[in-house]
Amino acid sequence: MEIEEQLTTAQILCLAQSPEYDASVPDGIFSFFDEHFDFANWKWDDKSHFWQYQDNFYPSSIDYHDAVIYIDDIDKKNTLIESISWLINILQYEHSSEKDQKIAFELTCLIPKFWEISRQENIVFSHSNEELAMRYLSHLDLENELSILTNRSINDNEMINSLKDNLANKRWKELAEDEYLLNGLYNQLSLNKFHQSYAFISEYHNHKILLLINQEANVCNLLYWLALLPEKYRQPFALQTTNNLAKFLLLFELDHLSRNEMKDEQIELSGIWQNCPNEWFDIFNQYPVRYPSLQLGFGAFLTNATDEKIRIYIDSLQLNQDETTIKECLEYFFAHANENRVQYLCKLAFEKWKDWDFGNTYSIARSVLDRALVKYFQIMLPKQDRENFIQNEINQILNFQQKWFVSIVELDKFVYLHLSRIQPAFIAKELEKDASLSFEDIQKLIYLPAQFNNDLRLKNWINLNRFNG
């Protein structure tokens, strides 16, 4: 059928509260609920019956993302608005029967983002709804919920049992390795919403959801609270929760902060790292590219961190990662930390890097700490000491005959190693020459000693002409 009209959820709510429409539901809806709905346990015998029923009486073409309903039948439009008017009245009346309240809760799924937009439109619901919803949520036991997810193999069962054990015993490293499995369970749990009580409480009384999370000892229930938690609450709850397991799991769910450029919220995460288990640093810094939303928070944390915590942070980094993955962290740190902390971090960075073999690579390599290393050569070493460092690395290459190599490949790797070590010192030297340059301007360039530029035998020997274009 042809689309005649489209209405947003906000427009439908406005019409439903106008005198233009009566407050009513289709004939037979109460008997339908009596037949298919378990009021005592607040669940459908088979939810598909409701969806079939909905299609008969209400518009079925819905954009859930933009909260738009497309109208192709005027009678269905009127039925929808009248039903929304009815359920609003039921949920606003303090003395509605529990049966009517539960029917009203179920009917809120007729329009997308009902609770969120009702809140935005300043629609107030009765206290009895809060009591009813919390009475249900507080007594949920989802221990068996993970056991009844469909299409589970023996291997799936073993993995989920292992996950539950890791959750119960707070094995942080193992849980990080289970992130993919956790996301899959979140997706399945979020589809099984039981009813709209959680959505109502999280929107109108979100502090009650935080209380449930804080007090939850059942890991299956905790996964449910987190699976349905609206995106906008993930960062505040990560900061506010006293449940360390919940805090840890929420740190994996903050990509929206960087995706939406929520810089202030990222910086606020600095409070996470003050009292967290040291193992968390290793987990979230092994591959920092996976957690861009945490970088500004790390930088803000390091700005005021103790020497011990700065060392823990530096120790947690893997040198073979890309420098850009912690760029925001170090940029914030260098811009806001005092001189003593800057010097201390740079000193630790150099100590960690100076004996590194760059992965024994057949190339001129970089490190995740290059930004800090350049700063070290700028502020920690006198100019002559920096020149001595560079010259020593050059001498290592020029005097290669004094060492034994098992193959030409190992000799080439030796040359690349010392050329790699020269790079941050050379960058510092170039920045000193031209104050208008920044680290970003020149950090990708390859700097070669004059001997290599002047002696084609050296340059061609290890194919150095492939660098810098």
Place of tokens 């499995």: 181
Strand order across the 68-71 sheet: 5-8, 68-71, 61-63
> Region 190-203: what's the mean pLDDT?
80
pLDDT band, very low/low/confident/very high, at 395 (cuts 50, 70, 90): very high
Taking the C-alpha atoms of residue 455 and residue 74, their distance in angstroms, rounded to an integer, is: 85
Confidence at residue 185, expressed as pLDDT on a 0 to 100 scale: 85
Mean pLDDT of the chain: 91
At residue 464, the pLDDT reads 61
Mean of the pLDDT values across residues 123-148? 85
Query: What pLDDT score does 189 carry?
Result: 80
What pLDDT, on a 0 to 100 scale, did the predictor assign at position 150? 46
| Whether pLDDT at 469 is above 50 | no
* Amino acid at position 314, single letter: I
Query: Confidence band (pLDDT; 50, 70, 90) for 217?
Result: confident
Q: Where are the domains of the chain?
A: 5-125, 126-252
Q: Would you say 222 and 245 are in contact if contact means Cβ atoms under 8 Å apart?
A: yes
CA distance 162 to 177: 12
Identify which of 65-69, 87-91, 139-143 has the greatest average pLDDT. Answer: 87-91
Say what angle helices 74-92 and 98-107 make with each other, to 10 degrees: 140
More confident residue, 457 or 209: 209
Mean pLDDT of 153-172: 85
Kindly tell me if the per-residue pLDDT of 315 is higher than 50: yes
- Tell me if 134 sits within 8 A of 209, measured CB to CB: no
The pLDDT assigned to 366 comes to 94
Dihedral sign, CA of 41, 43, 44, 45? negative
Q: Is the pLDDT of residue 240 over 60?
A: yes
- Range with the lowest mean pLDDT among 43-52, 230-239, 348-357? 43-52
pLDDT tens-digit readout, 48-66 = 888 888 888 999 899 999 9
